C-alpha cells in the first residue's frame, strides 16, 4: 500500500499507483497518467483476487471517492497506517526513535463521524455502468457527495455508512420532498437554483443539528424554503437545532454568512469526562468523537502534568485540548488563527467554570513571539496540533527559544510532523510515539509524539 490509499505495482523500473486494489490482486492495468519515474493507472480486469481482500459494504464504494480502504479488512488497514507512521518518521525525520507503540484502532468502524456535508446539484453523476447501459433517470437532480475532479456533478447517495443512520433518513426525506414539490437544485456552473447544501451534526449527548443552505433571490422562494424547513421540523422532532443559511455567493463557504435559527437552539454539545463543549454551525470539532477522547487522553498523559505547569496549547481551535488538560495544569494558554474558534474556546471555558485558561486569536508565527513568552511566562509544556501543512519555521524557532521541558506534538500528517521533528532534533529527543486511527477505511492517521529536552 502507498500514500493516499493507493496500492503499488512495479513494471520493470516503473512504479505504478493504483486505487481500489490491494496487495496480492492480479490485474490488468490501464495507464491514466505517466511521468518519468511513476505512473497512475486503474484496474480494468481482475484475474485473481488477493487473499487479504474484504468485500466493500457500501453500494457507493469506488464511485464516491471516500472510504477507499473498504477492500481491506480493518486489521490490515491499521497495520498499513502503523507502517505509514514508522516510514515517515524514519525516512523523512531521520532521527533516533524509541519503539513506536501499536496503533490505537477505532472501536467503531461504521457510523463513526459526527458531521457530514451534502451537496445538491441539478447534474446527477452517472457511473460508468449507468453510461454503458444508457440508464435514463426521470430525475437528474441529486443530493450527495461531489465526485472527485468534477466540481459541478454530485453522486446521488442512498446510504452512507459514515454517520448515524438518522443522517441518511433526513437527507433522503429532504430529497423526496424536494422532488415531490419541484424544488430547484443549484446548477453549480450557472449558479441558478435554490437548494445548495445541507450539513448534519450528531453528538455524543444525543443532540442533532441540521443546517440547510439555500440561494434565495425572490420572496416566493423564501416562502417555499420555510415550507421545506417546517417539513423537516415536523418529520424529525429529534432535531434539537434546525438552522438555515442564505448563500447567494458563487462559492459554498459559510464562514462569512449569517446563520438563522428555524427551530431549537443555535448549538449542540459534545461531552468528555463531564466537560461540555459547545459546538456551533461553524465550529471545528474532531469528527470522530469517541476517538477524539482517546487522542486527547494520550496527549494529556504524554504532557505528564502535576498541577504546577504552565501549558501553551498551539493551534488550539475551539480550545478542546486546552480545556481538557486544564484541571491538571496551573494555567493553559491557547493560541489559534480563527477568531470565531477562540470565542468558542472562551465560551467552553466559561460553561465548564474553568478559570485557568487564556485564549488569544492571531497567526501563530505573529502571536508566539519572544515578547509573548516574556509577558506570559516560559511554558513547561507545549502541546501543538497544527494543520496538515505542519508548523511554520518561525513557530519552530520560538518553541526552541521557549525551551519547554516537554512538547506533545499531535499531527494528522506524519510526513510534515517528521520534517518538524527533525527541526527540533538538536534540542529535543523523541521519548514516545502513539499512532491513533481516527478515520477507518481511509488512509489518514493521527500521531502523537512526546519530545523531551535533551
Phi, psi torsion values for 47, nearest 5 degrees: -95, -35
Q: Where are the alpha helices (DSSP H) in 156-256?
A: 166-180, 219-235
Give yes or no for a contact between 55 and 48, defined as CB atoms under 8 angstroms apart.
Answer: no
Q: What is the DSSP letter of 123?
A: S
What does the block give as the cell for 284?
471545528
Angle (nearest 5°) at CA 406 between 444 and 326 = 80
The contacts of residue 443 (CB under 8 Å, 6+ apart) are 1, 3, 4, 5, 68, 69, 80, 81, 84
Other CB atoms within 10 A of residue 385 CB = 22
Strands 381-384, 406-411: pairing kind:
parallel
Distance of CA 91 to the CA centre of its chain: 26
Give yes or no for a contact between 310 and 330, defined as CB atoms under 8 angstroms apart.
Answer: yes
Q: Taking the alpha carbons of 21, 27, 32, 35 in that order, is the dihedral positive or negative?
A: positive
Terminal alpha carbon distance of the chain: 36
The contacts of residue 383 (CB under 8 Å, 6+ apart) are 299, 303, 311, 312, 313, 314, 321, 322, 325, 407, 408, 410
Binding-site residues: 286, 315, 336, 385
* Annotated catalytic residue, options 58, 64, 67, 412: 412
Binding-site residues for S-adenosyl-L-methionine: 286, 315, 336, 385
Q: How are strands ordered across the β-sheet holding 150-156?
A: 150-156, 142-147, 115-121, 195-202, 208-214, 241-246, 260-264
Other CB atoms within 10 A of residue 413 CB = 18
Task: Clarify whether 412 is annotated catalytic.
Answer: yes
Residue 45 has, within 13 A of its CA and on its CB side, a CA count of 2
Angle (nearest 5°) at CA 340 between 337 and 344 = 110
Give yes or no for a contact between 225 and 235, defined as CB atoms under 8 angstroms apart.
Answer: no
User: How far apart are the C-alpha atoms of 328 and 230, rounded to whole Å?
Assistant: 46
Three-class DSSP category at 89: helix
Known catalytic residues are 412
Amino acid at each position: 500500500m502507498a500514500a493516499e490509499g493507493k496500492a503499488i505495482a512495479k513494471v520493470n523500473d516503473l512504479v505504478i499507483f493504483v486505487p481500489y486494489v490491494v496487495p496480492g490482486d492480479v490485474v490488468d492495468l490501464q495507464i491514466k497518467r505517466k511521468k518519468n519515474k511513476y505512473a497512475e493507472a486503474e484496474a480494468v480486469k481482475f484475474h485473481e483476487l488477493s487473499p487479504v481482500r474484504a468485500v466493500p459494504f457500501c453500494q457507493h464504494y469506488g464511485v464516491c471517492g471516500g472510504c477507499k480502504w473498504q477492500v481491506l479488512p480493518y486489521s490490515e488497514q491499521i497495520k498499513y497506517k502503523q507502517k505509514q507512521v514508522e516510514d515517515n518518521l524514519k525516512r523523512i525525520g531521520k532521527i533516533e526513535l524509541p519503539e513506536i507503540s501499536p496503533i490505537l484502532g477505532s472501536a467503531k468502524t461504521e457510523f463513526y463521524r459526527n458531521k457530514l456535508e451534502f451537496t445538491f446539484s441539478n447534474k446527477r453523476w452517472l457511473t460508468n455502468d449507468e453510461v454503458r447501459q444508457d440508464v435514463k433517470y426521470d430525475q437528474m437532480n441529486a443530493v450527495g457527495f461531489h465526485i472527485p475532479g468534477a466540481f459541478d456533478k454530485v453522486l446521488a447517495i442512498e446510504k452512507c455508512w459514515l454517520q448515524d443512520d438518522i443522517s441518511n433518513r433526513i437527507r433522503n426525506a429532504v430529497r423526496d420532498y424536494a422532488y415531490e414539490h419541484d424544488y430547484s437544485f443549484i446548477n453549480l456552473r450557472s449558479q441558478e437554483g435554490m437548494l445548495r447544501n445541507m450539513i448534519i451534526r450528531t453528538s455524543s449527548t444525543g443532540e442533532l443539528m441540521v443546517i440547510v443552505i439555500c440561494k434565495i433571490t425572490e420572496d416566493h422562494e423564501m416562502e417555499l424554503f420555510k415550507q421545506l424547513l417546517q417539513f423537516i421540523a415536523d418529520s424529525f422532532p429529534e432535531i434539537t437545532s434546525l438552522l438555515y443559511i442564505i448563500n447567494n455567493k458563487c462559492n459554498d463557504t459559510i464562514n462569512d454568512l449569517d446563520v438563522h435559527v428555524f427551530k431549537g437552539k443555535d448549538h449542540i454539545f459534545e461531552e468528555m469526562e463531564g466537560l461540555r463543549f459547545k459546538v456551533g454551525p461553524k465550529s471545528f470539532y474532531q469528527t470522530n468523537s469517541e476517538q477524539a477522547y482517546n487522542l486527547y487522553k494520550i496527549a494529556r498523559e504524554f504532557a505528564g502534568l502535576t498541577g504546577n505547569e504552565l501549558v501553551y496549547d498551539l493551534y488550539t481551535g475551539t480550545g478542546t485540548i486546552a480545556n481538557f488538560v486544564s484541571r491538571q495544569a496551573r494555567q493553559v494558554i491557547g493560541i489559534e488563527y480563527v477568531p470565531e474558534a477562540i470565542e468558542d474556546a472562551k465560551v467552553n471555558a466559561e460553561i465548564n467554570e474553568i478559570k485557568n485558561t487564556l485564549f488569544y486569536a492571531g497567526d501563530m508565527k505573529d502571536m508566539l513571539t519572544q515578547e509573548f513568552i516574556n509577558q506570559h511566562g516560559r511554558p513547561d509544556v507545549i502541546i501543538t496540533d497544527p494543520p496538515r501543512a505542519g508548523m511554520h519555521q518561525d513557530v519552530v524557532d520560538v518553541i526552541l527559544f521557549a525551551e519547554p521541558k516537554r512538547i506533545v506534538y499531535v499531527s494528522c500528517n506524519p510526513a510534515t510532523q517528521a520534517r518538524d521533528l527533525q527541526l527540533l532534533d538538536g534540542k529535543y529527543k523523541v521519548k514516545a510515539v502513539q499512532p491513533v486511527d481516527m478515520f477507518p477505511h481511509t488512509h489518514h492517521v493521527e500521531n502523537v509524539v512526546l519530545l523531551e529536552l535533551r
